[in-house]
Chains A and B, each alone.
Chain A
């Protein structure tokens, strides 16, 4: 690992200063007993923070999120080393159900809607763990419909028959229905129309500011992710290769070139990218 680049962005103001709501310590994840995917990932999400997790395809973002929300077991993966703490408490042995009750919810990559349930029923399953009564749930349902008017139109269609973007809205809305404190968002912008992408991130910001919800956000759309995030980690090949405040990351030359598409000369047209670029790796 080239220490130089690492240090270039590592600043004193690591998020550890504010008491983190989530801390991942040096975890290692193995799938199927043989495929080593995460090779010691550490990160922290401060209470009320929005943290972006960036990295190329296959870097291990999804795996990291699943390790936190304990959905790995369902994929025959396991955390073999390291710890995950939420609010200072180890959560590795809790079920996803316990986690949701504690306010940790994951929006899974690739939508995963309940195809045979209607859009509204999908949203209501999100309220399964809630106990504060029908009225509160109803209110939140209306809130989700406010965020995503399209869902209201399609509320009684079976989710399996809705379009890709509509399903993505369902998945996000369903997670919001759990009334979370920490949302693990896996590629929320995938497949969404541009103006909706903006809206989603506006929702993130609103929830974050008004309700104090924290976010850990795996995203390919680096530009927008860093715009809304306070802190960012860059993952390559199962390792964190760079971390820093969002602002600083955006200013880093490598990040600019590889993730934001801003070379020294400014933004290039997709048409003009002549050669296949050999990826510059930090490893």
Chain B
């Protein structure tokens, strides 16, 4: 059977034939996985801190990038644009808290999830009303050139992305685990009402979290935007971040990055070596299937908090 050969034998023959290429695919995959992590991180942040599955994270990536690129196009220097965009994101966070979250406090998670989809639509529409739907080129001087290390081709840009994501993860992990606010954030995620009852100010907490998520979104937006140009499709990278998210666990900051690495590497290797057996273009679902398989063994993702089941 052709299929069996293509599925079970040929990929390994190929790998053995040219191990260097395999390493290249692997590193390429790992590095592009990091780009997903950047987006997934925003999700994790909000989920961990308020129990809200923020579908709007993708829209926030686009939104931030649109404003940043838009200001630059208007002739504002990059640092000025950065400050302005940060201002916009803070404003956005406060608005979301006031208009969406506060009236929906203590509602079931699915309702909040739905509300964030509402936010997604609003942001997509708003960003484009202000800045239009054409592509904006975002060039902040990140090097795009390929680099050969020991015969393996890597992209400088990807390496920078990895460094950025790594540092974000480190900072956020410490923030959550070790600080008073971090603890309060996790409390809010567990029980809004109880958090209120001990005097945790949901208002401030949410404004903080959404601002931070907005800033993480900005970073992701700048990275993705300088890769693809700033355009509507940026909002869709959220879909690539979701499997990363469940694989790593909704509540784990380091999980976001490790999930990203696994998904990135997994889908690239699969696409390169198994496309012959099962047909190309599998990247779309492969990540989800991979995540699904992991979930069957760990329903809370690799690093997520265990789902508490008690009676």
Contact A116 B305 (CB under 8 A): yes
Which residues of A, 94-116, contact B by the 8 Å Cβ criterion?
Answer: 95-97, 99-101, 105-108, 112-116
Q: Measured between C-beta atoms, what is the minimum distance from A266 to chain B in Å? A: 39
Which residues of B, 278-296, contact A by the 8 Å Cβ criterion?
Answer: none
B84-118, CB under 8 A of A: which get 1 and which 0? 00000000000000000000011000000000000
Q: In this complex, what residue of B is CB-closest to A164?
A: B310
- The answer for the CA separation of A227 and B48 in the assembled complex, in Å, is 44
Chain A residues contacting B183 (CB-CB under 8 Å) are 117, 121, 124-125
Task: Say which one of B20-28, B137-145, B198-206 lies at the interface with A.
Answer: B198-206
Chain A residues contacting B240 (CB-CB under 8 Å) are none
Is B168's beta carbon under 8 Å from chain A?
no
Given contacts A74-B105, A160-B310, A161-B310, contact A114 B190 (CB under 8 A): yes
Contact A105 B106 (CB under 8 A): no
Q: In this complex, what residue of A is CB-closest to B192?
A: A74
Contact B191 A112 (CB under 8 A): yes
Find B199's partner among A105, A114, A116, A122 (CB 8 Å cutoff).
A105
Contact B200 A97 (CB under 8 A): yes
Q: Measured between C-beta atoms, what is the minimum distance from B194 to chain A in Å? A: 4
Contact A115 B308 (CB under 8 A): yes
Is A54's beta carbon under 8 Å from chain B?
no
- The answer for the CA separation of A107 and B194 in the assembled complex, in Å, is 9
Is A69's beta carbon under 8 Å from chain B?
yes
Contact B196 A112 (CB under 8 A): no
Chain A residues contacting B189 (CB-CB under 8 Å) are 116
Chain B residues contacting A61 (CB-CB under 8 Å) are none
Chain B residues contacting A177 (CB-CB under 8 Å) are 198
Contact A97 B199 (CB under 8 A): yes
Contact B106 A74 (CB under 8 A): yes
Is A71's beta carbon under 8 Å from chain B?
yes
Contact A116 B308 (CB under 8 A): yes
Q: In this complex, what residue of B is CB-closest to A184?
A: B197
Chain B residues contacting A144 (CB-CB under 8 Å) are none
Contact B190 A128 (CB under 8 A): no
Is B187's beta carbon under 8 Å from chain A?
yes
Is A139's beta carbon under 8 Å from chain B?
no
Which residues of B, 253-311, contact A by the 8 Å Cβ criterion?
Answer: 305-306, 308, 310
Is A189's beta carbon under 8 Å from chain B?
no
Is B193's beta carbon under 8 Å from chain A?
yes
B217-233, CB under 8 A of A: which get 1 and which 0? 00000000000000000
- The answer for the CA separation of A73 and B180 in the assembled complex, in Å, is 26
Contact A117 B308 (CB under 8 A): no
Chain B residues contacting A126 (CB-CB under 8 Å) are 198-199
Q: In this complex, what residue of A is CB-closest to B305?
A: A116
Is B136's beta carbon under 8 Å from chain A?
no
Chain A residues contacting B194 (CB-CB under 8 Å) are 108, 112-114, 171
Chain B residues contacting A174 (CB-CB under 8 Å) are 198
Q: Measured between C-beta atoms, what is the minimum distance from A69 to chain B in Å? A: 7
Find B190's partner among A75, A108, A115 (CB 8 Å cutoff).
A115
Contact B184 A96 (CB under 8 A): no
Chain B residues contacting A97 (CB-CB under 8 Å) are 196, 199-203
Contact A105 B197 (CB under 8 A): yes
Q: Measured between C-beta atoms, what is the minimum distance from B129 to chain A in Å? A: 33
Contact A125 B197 (CB under 8 A): no
Contact B105 A114 (CB under 8 A): no
- The answer for the CA separation of A112 and B195 in the assembled complex, in Å, is 9
Is A158's beta carbon under 8 Å from chain B?
yes
Chain B residues contacting A51 (CB-CB under 8 Å) are none
Is A64's beta carbon under 8 Å from chain B?
no
**Known pairs A115-B190, A115-B308, A116-B251 / 13 extra A-B pairs, C-beta < 8 Å:** A69-B197, A97-B202, A107-B197, A108-B193, A114-B190, A116-B305, A117-B187, A126-B199, A128-B198, A129-B199, A174-B198, A177-B198, A178-B198
Which 4 A-B residue pairs are closest in the complex by CB-CB distance?
A100-B199, A160-B308, A112-B194, A74-B106
Could you name 21 residue pairs across A and B whose Cβ atoms are closer than 8 Å?
Answer: A74-B192, A75-B193, A95-B203, A97-B203, A105-B199, A112-B193, A114-B186, A114-B194, A115-B191, A116-B190, A116-B308, A117-B186, A121-B186, A124-B180, A125-B184, A129-B200, A158-B308, A160-B310, A174-B198, A175-B197, A178-B199
